């Protein structure tokens, strides 16, 4: 199909969407009367029922924990897919990679950048752990904290080089962390079976509100999710960097 | 009145992002551009969810500093969104790695030139 013809078909479709959308918007009840009973039920109960202050994390890791398993495995499978697509198998490319990863072939980072990166990594990791562990108290949790932790690995590459990145980040260890995160979520869900309760029931002691240990299984699931998200993103970073450097090595 | 404007403007922005992202996809001349256009389409869902979860004047559902039984904005929508943002990033990574494979195989990243049916 030619470009002009494709755009014409698109414009016809877009005009159709615009008309239907405008018609639908006219019948909307407006923001005030719309009430989500389910959301109100959670908001009014979460503090008394689960001893936590963050209703969003309670939805993610407790009330709708089963849906989060689905989300987490989308993440798991897409990371798995990316890695298998980018996987480098032949010895030839391994050799090229070793050449490309030689520190001498990288543009050396200036001392100012290297120093700044080394200074920044510790607070970044600390902040990530803080966000992961305080999910049930303040905005945060495994998903957000995991991404912050993974970005610590990214700035290691930005400030130093891929050679340093490879030295510090162990592929095997990160792979293990991802498996532990994904499996840990399922195992925490299975704890409920010992009490004869359904999968993912919050059976652990709920602790005191405003404390780190409050929320029963919530902080544990948040931790497992954080591990999985962090490891998933670091693996992606690793695979893409390897691919880039292999291509550079071939040229 | 202000709530009405936020509400309808939100729906309009969501529709606009969806359509402009689709235009990016159909007119794309590079697979990376195509993947990024898809993220624009997906951004429409974030705006739509934000508008649906919006409650005029109510605080975030973090029950610190105000009574735990008082109303707050919809926490279900927020939970949906934050998982969606993270998961979407990895799905885009999957699409980009497919792009890398396509480029390796056909040495082209133009969706019009890539003949995917070639054995």
Q: A158 versus A102: which is more confidently predicted?
A: A158
Tell me how far apart the alpha carbons of residues A13 and A4 are, in angstroms, rounded to a whole number: 14
The reply to whether B19 touches chain A by the CB within 8 Å rule is yes
Does residue B42 belong to any structural domain of this protein?
yes
Q: Is residue B79 part of a domain?
A: yes
Question: How far does A138 lie from chain B, in Å, by closest CA?
Answer: 7
pLDDT tens digits along A94-126: 666 666 555 545 567 788 888 888 899 999 999
Percent of chain A with pLDDT over 70: 89
DSSP string, A28-76: ---TTT---HHHHHHHHHHHHHHS-SBHHHHIIIIITHHHHHHHHHHHH
Span B49-105, pLDDT tens digits: 888 888 878 888 888 888 887 888 889 989 999 888 988 899 999 999 999 888 888
Q: Domain holding B36: CATH number?
A: 1.10.287.3510
Please report the pLDDT score of residue A71 as a whole number: 92
- In Å, how far is B18's CA from the nearest CA of chain A? 10
Which residue in chain A has the smallest CA separation from B61?
A55
Put simply, the answer to whether B15 touches A18 (Cβ < 8 Å) is yes
Outline where DSSP puts E strands in chain B: none
What is the per-residue pLDDT across A55-71, written as a single tens digit (0 to 9) for each? Answer: 999 999 999 999 999 99
Query: For residue A248, what are the contacts with CB-CB under 8 A and spacing of at least 6?
Result: A100
ipTM of the complex: 0.88
| Residue B64 in domain | yes
For B70, the domain range is: 2-106
Q: Count of domains in chain B?
A: 1
Average pLDDT, chain A: 86
Interchain proximity A39–B74, CB inside 8 Å = yes
- Give the burial class of B67: count Cβ atoms within 10 A of its Cβ; 0-12 exposed, 13-18 middle, 19 or more buried: exposed
- Torsion, Cα of A8, A12, A18, A21 (10° steps): -140
A to B CB pairs, distance under 8 Å: 154
Record the pTM: 0.88
Predicted pLDDT of residue A90: 46
């Amino acid at each position: 199909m030619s470009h002009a013809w494709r755009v014409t078909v698109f414009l016809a479709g877009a005009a159709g969407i615009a008309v239907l959308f405008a018609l639908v918007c006219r019948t909307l009840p407006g923001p005030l009367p719309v009430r989500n009973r389910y959301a109100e039920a959670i908001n009014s109960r979460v503090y008394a029922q689960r001893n936590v202050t963050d209703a969003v994390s309670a939805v993610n890791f407790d009330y709708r924990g089963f849906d989060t398993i689905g989300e987490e495995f989308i993440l798991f499978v897409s990371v798995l897919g990316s890695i298998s697509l980018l996987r480098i198998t032949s010895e030839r490319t391994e050799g090229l990679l070793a050449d490309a990863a030689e520190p001498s072939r990288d543009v050396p980072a200036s001392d100012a950048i290297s120093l700044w990166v080394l200074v920044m990594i510790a607070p970044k990791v600390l902040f990530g752990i803080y966000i992961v562990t305080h999910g049930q108290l303040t905005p945060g949790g495994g998903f957000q904290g995991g991404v912050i932790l993974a970005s610590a690995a990214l700035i290691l590459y930005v400030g130093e080089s891929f050679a340093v990145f490879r030295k510090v980040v162990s592929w095997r260890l990160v792979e293990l962390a991802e498996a532990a995160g994904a499996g840990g979520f399922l195992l925490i869900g299975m704890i409920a079976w010992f009490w004869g309760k359904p999968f993912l029931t919050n059976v652990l002691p709920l602790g005191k509100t405003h404390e780190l240990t409050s929320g029963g299984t919530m902080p544990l699931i948040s931790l497992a999710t954080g591990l999985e998200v962090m490891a998933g993103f670091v693996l992606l970073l690793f695979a893409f960097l390897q691919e880039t450097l292999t291509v550079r090595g071939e040229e | 009145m202000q709530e009405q404007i936020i509400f309808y403007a939100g729906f309009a922005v969501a529709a606009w992002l969806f359509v402009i992202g689709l235009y990016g996809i159909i007119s794309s001349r590079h697979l990376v551009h195509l993947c990024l256009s898809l993220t624009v389409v997906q951004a429409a869902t974030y705006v739509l969810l934000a508008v649906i979860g919006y409650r005029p004047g109510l605080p975030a559902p973090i029950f610190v500093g105000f009574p735990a039984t008082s109303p707050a904005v919809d926490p279900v929508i927020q939970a949906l969104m934050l998982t969606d943002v993270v998961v979407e990033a990895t799905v885009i990574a999957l699409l980009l790695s497919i792009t890398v494979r396509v480029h390796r195989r056909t040495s082209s990243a133009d969706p019009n030139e890539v003949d995917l049916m070639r054995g």
